[in-house]
Amino acid sequence: MNLIITNGTVIGERLIPNGAVVVIGNKILFVGEERDSQLLLKAADRSVFQIIDAQGGYIAPGLIDIHIHGSAGVDLMDGTEEALRTMARYCASSGTVGFLPSTVTASREKTRRVAEVAAGFPRQPDEAAVLGVHLEGPYINETYKGAQYGPEIREADLAELQSLYEILGEKMRLVTLAPETPGALAAIDWLVERDIAVAVGHSNATYEEASAAIQRGANHATHLYNGMRGLHHREPGVVGAFLAEPDAYVQLIADMIHVHPGAIRVALNCKPLERVILITDAVQATGLADGEYVLGDQRIFVKDGAARLAEGNLAGSTLTLLKAVKNMIEVLGVPMADAFRMASRNPAEAVGLTDKGWIREGCDADLLVLSPDLDLQMTIIDGAIAYRAVQEGGQ
């Protein structure tokens, strides 16, 4: 079934009030003002086109989360198809159309099992797409391990990377490591040669070490400010290196817990718009009440929505990507089109997905229908409705 979505403001490269989007199959055919689609709308065969009324709300790009560990009671490191399927359903129900399930530092066997599950994952109609895998660790620095599992931290291992690459192929999309640790520079070279995005994270690298890694192709900062050597005026550290390099990407957890709004403003003033990426770093507790949960091999405790280890370290978030976008708009005053770009087109392009993440003719038909208050009404993935909010009277 093809789609015509009308009566909403389209959030594209700019806002298009009274806009419309036409979808044929799984691709966007038309984006523009509604008056330009009226002839098509009048001529549309209702047996061929489904007409969706945005009811004066917004037609937004589907969100893409390149850093998420779990949600709705499951953790990726459970290593089961059902766990990944639960994550995929939750993502679709919260406005995320595609994601990179993210590992944590774990044994070779557990990491390999997760790769095997993700590599052959068949998407169901009510699920977000698994666009690849993000390996966060195990090649990180103990000093900044955060909530990563210390006993499994190890030196970068090209044989292990090769074995995972043989399983995942192009689904091996992003690897987070600490460039100052043994073997890391060789790993960066190996990954970049295969067009796999490399991020610096959980790192005690100096400014010079981080800058050298960026020049080698490690051009992402995993959750900027968190889990890395901070900015000091005599040692700018990892944070300084990534703020100073205009072409490098920075991930931000915009839950207003991990990073102070003032620090987010610093990043926004330093970085070009197209290099800022919103992530969730979401964990098992996302979408659930406060309580005790797990992250990989560790217990975490959620209170007032903040997830921490017993010793107090932050341990991921309970954020959704749509909430992160709202926070950027409402707390930081970021223009709406810019805030959505940080959670859609930017993350897609950062991991080599050029047809996803924005509303443009010829791109994949991954769209959200939102209320005037930016509440999710509908998630459209690959040209089909994957989630519809339950409303009194129906939509």
* pLDDT tens readout for residues 352-365: 999 999 999 999 99
pLDDT at residue 39, as a whole number: 62
The answer, yes or no, to whether residue 126 has pLDDT greater than 50, is yes
Which of helix, strand or coil describes residue 7?
strand
Instruction: State the DSSP code for 12.
Output: S
Residue 394 lies in a domain: no
Give dist(CA 275, CA 250) in Å, integer.
6
| Domain shared by 139 and 19, yes or no | no
- Find out whether the peptide bond into 138 is cis, omega within 30 degrees of 0: yes
Residue 91 lies in a domain: yes
Structural domain boundaries, residue 125: 63-350
**Residues in the chain, total:** 395
| Domain shared by 244 and 296, yes or no | yes
Please name the residues in contact with 69: beta carbons below 8 A apart, sequence gap of 6 or more: 75, 76, 77, 101, 102, 103, 104, 136, 281, 282, 283, 284, 295, 296, 316
Give mean pLDDT, residues 10-29.
94
**Token code pair at residue 99:** 């994601």
Q: How many CB atoms lie within 10 A of CB 159?
A: 8
pTM, two decimals, is 0.96
| Domain shared by 232 and 254, yes or no | yes
- Please identify which residue in the block is written with the tokens 């192009």: 170
Question: How far, in Å, are 62, 126, 144, 316, 356 from residue 93 at the CA level?
Answer: 11, 8, 33, 20, 18
pLDDT at residue 14, as a whole number: 87
**Token code pair at residue 214:** 């960026």
- Write out the catalytic residue numbers: 281
Cα angle, residue 138 at apex, residues 133 and 139 outer, rounded to 5°: 110
| Domain shared by 82 and 167, yes or no | yes
Residue 380 lies in a domain: yes
Residue 395 lies in a domain: no
Say how many domains are in the chain: 2
Give dist(CA 222, CA 360) in Å, integer.
28
CATH number at residue 374: 2.30.40.10
pLDDT at residue 58, as a whole number: 98
CATH number at residue 310: 3.20.20.140
Give dist(CA 380, CA 128) in Å, integer.
9
Task: Give the confidence band of 23 by pLDDT, cuts at 50, 70, 90.
Answer: very high
